[in-house]
């Protein structure tokens, strides 16, 4: 045993000596936990939740966990809230319940332990169930042991160094595929504490197992805790998708390991995949309501936040660069731009400083246009990429967001272009 092994072995033994009793009254009920931060995983999590809520009619409470503002914007969070999902920022929880957690694989064990539920189904974001997964909580195997794990295609072999690293007798067992984990905390609290410890020491244990997968099984083995293992190995479409089964052999979870949903472009077509139409509908809904960017406006004062709300209510504008045709521009809540969005106009926010009121429009990389509100309420600005390019924003009177004076102003400022009324007749 080398120095690293000895050091981590001592830390593991210390963890086993200080295991805490289950905190009665801290958790309640049943629910689903998903870890999904950043645009790619959020896209998959949105599809999963949308399918659960609309196609499968699942009413279980759901928590989506992420690491801070860079991974989930207010717009993204609100789309989940509309589907009755609670979003949980792990950086806030780690202040209250500290743990050495830094990435997504590690987060899974922590999120399961810290979630509000006593009985928890942990699902990877790239899973699509074939039916309402609430049924798993009624399985007699779950009631008996308080834990159900699903096997991988491969074994954790006796020759693996992980057995020596953990002080366990070598054996060959089915490796665990942790896209789905079902746990009753009241029955498995000791095993969960050890699983979390192994994930906190990822720099050591992940060298011998693949991510968090077998840390679940090791937590049970190290504490002598019982668990139930689905007896059938998953069906697999190569490594593109694992089709995990229930105890009777029916397919329940479709884990798109290498066929994750993409925000844009073609999706991977998997023969025999169940529920594709519902997933495509979810992607369409996502693209309609989110532009694919994790956008967080900078910290601003209360006046700017109030102005954001006012502009989102006003909503409809015309964007004009002299010499070009005026375009519709819709400012939505949470800094999103609806109709009128393009590569130069993705998101927006306002600023109010020293009596000056500004509107900033961003591309995918940062501020692209800066407008200043004039005394008459109109906006004049310039490109931040090429300051010689002027641009103007005027509230669109046709939507009840401006006066007749604004209509006259637009027609006067844009000679040679169709007026509001004639453009409306032309279907603009």
The pTM of this model reads 0.90
Mention every residue, 6+ apart, whose C-beta is less than 8 A from residue 220.
147, 188, 191, 226, 227
> What is the radius of gyration, based on Cα positions, of the chain?
27
Mean pLDDT of 369-376: 93
Name the pLDDT band for 398 (thresholds 50, 70, 90): low
**CA torsion 137→140→146→151, rounded to 10°?**
-90
Lowest mean pLDDT across 86-100, 118-132, 261-275, 404-418: 404-418
Distance CA 365, CA 185 (A): 43
pLDDT computed for residue 140 by the predictor: 98
> H helices then E strands: how many in the chain?
14, 20
Instruction: Give strand ranges (E) for 157-306.
Output: 173-176, 180-184, 228-229, 235-237, 241-245, 251-255
pLDDT computed for residue 1 by the predictor: 65
Mean pLDDT of 343-357: 95
pLDDT tens, 76-120? 999 999 999 999 999 999 999 999 998 889 999 999 999 999 999
């Amino acid at each position: 045993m080398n120095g690293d092994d000895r050091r981590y072995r001592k830390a593991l033994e210390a963890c086993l000596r200080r295991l805490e009793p289950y905190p009665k009254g801290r958790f309640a009920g049943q629910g689903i936990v998903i870890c999904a931060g950043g645009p790619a995983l959020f896209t998959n999590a949105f599809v999963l939740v949308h399918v659960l809520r609309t196609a499968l009619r699942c009413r279980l409470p759901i928590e989506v966990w992420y690491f801070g503002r860079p991974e989930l914007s207010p717009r993204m969070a609100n789309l989940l809230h509309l589907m009755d999902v609670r979003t949980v920022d792990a950086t806030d929880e780690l202040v209250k319940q500290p743990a050495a957690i830094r990435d997504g694989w590690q987060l899974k064990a922590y999120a399961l332990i810290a979630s509000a539920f006593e009985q928890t189904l942990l699902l990877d974001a790239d899973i699509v169930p074939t039916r309402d997964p609430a049924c798993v909580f009624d399985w007699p195997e779950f009631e008996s042991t308080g834990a159900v794990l699903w096997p991988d295609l491969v074994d954790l072999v006796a020759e693996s160094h992980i057995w020596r690293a953990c002080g366990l007798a070598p054996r060959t067992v089915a490796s665990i595929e942790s896209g789905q984990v079902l746990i009753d905390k009241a029955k498995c609290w000791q095993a969960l504490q050890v699983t979390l410890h192994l994930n906190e020491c990822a720099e050591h244990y992940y060298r011998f197992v693949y991510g968090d997968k077998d840390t679940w099984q090791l937590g049970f083995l190290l504490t002598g805790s019982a668990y139930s293992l689905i007896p059938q190995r998953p069906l697999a479409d190569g490594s593109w998708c694992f089709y995990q089964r229930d105890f009777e052999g029916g397919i329940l979870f479709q884990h798109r390991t290498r066929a994750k949903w993409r925000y844009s472009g073609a999706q991977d077509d998997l023969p025999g995949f169940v529920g594709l139409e519902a997933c495509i509908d979810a992607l369409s809904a996502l693209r309609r309501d989110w532009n694919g960017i994790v956008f967080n406006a900078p910290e601003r004062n209360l006046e700017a936040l109030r102005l954001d709300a006012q502009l989102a209510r006003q909503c409809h504008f015309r964007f004009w660069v002299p010499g070009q045709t005026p375009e519709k521009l819709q400012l939505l809540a949470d800094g999103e731009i609806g109709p009128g969005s393009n590569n130069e106009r993705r998101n927006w926010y306002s600023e109010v400083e020293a009596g000056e009121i500004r509107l900033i429009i961003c591309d995918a990389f940062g501020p692209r246009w800066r407008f200043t509100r004039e005394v008459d309420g109109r906006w004049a600005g310039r490109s931040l990429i090429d300051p010689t390019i002027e641009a103007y924003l005027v509230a669109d009177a046709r939507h009840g967001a401006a006066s007749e004076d604004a209509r006259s102003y637009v027609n006067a400022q844009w000679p040679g272009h169709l007026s509001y009324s004639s453009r409306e007749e032309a279907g603009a």
